[in-house]
Amino acid sequence: AQRVTQPEKLLSVFKGAPVELKCNYSYSGSPELFWYVQYSRQRLQLLLRHISRESIKGFTADLNKGETSFHLKKPFAQEEDSAMYYCALSGNQGGSEKLVFGKGTKLTVNP
């Protein structure tokens, strides 16, 4: 079964501190992993995907197949990073590109 686990419902850090949002997944094949972000009163938007191996707004995420993890990291958090973060996977099973989401982590960056 496909499953995404985000163990932290809430995460609070101070501005300038490193931040890591954890994500573990369960999938039998080779999934695509994503991080989506939802800022206050905005729609859900893609932050980054593992296949792109890019850094967006200073965030990076590395897919660790051995640990089935896709943790999101940023070395120096900013107040504007405060938002809900969702980890998601897509297995493209049966031709459906549906996303399976975790429950989300609310990140608060304090001044």
Q: Is 96 in the site for another protein (CB under 8 A)?
A: yes
Between 66 and 96, CB nearer to another protein? 96
Q: Segment contacting another protein (CB under 8 A): 10-18, 22-30, 43-51, 55-63?
A: 43-51
Query: If binding is defined by CB under 8 A, does position 29 make contact with another protein?
Result: no
DSSP secondary structure of the chain: --EEE---SEEEEETTS-EEE--EEE-SS--EEEEEEE-TTS--EEEEEGGGT--BTTBEE--BTTTTB--EEESS--GGG-EEEEEEEE--GGG---EEE---EEEEEE-
Q: Note whether 32 binds another protein by CB under 8 A.
A: yes
Residues binding another protein: what is the number (CB under 8 A)?
Answer: 23
Contact residues: another protein, CB under 8 A: 4, 6, 32, 43-46, 49, 86, 88, 90, 92, 94-104
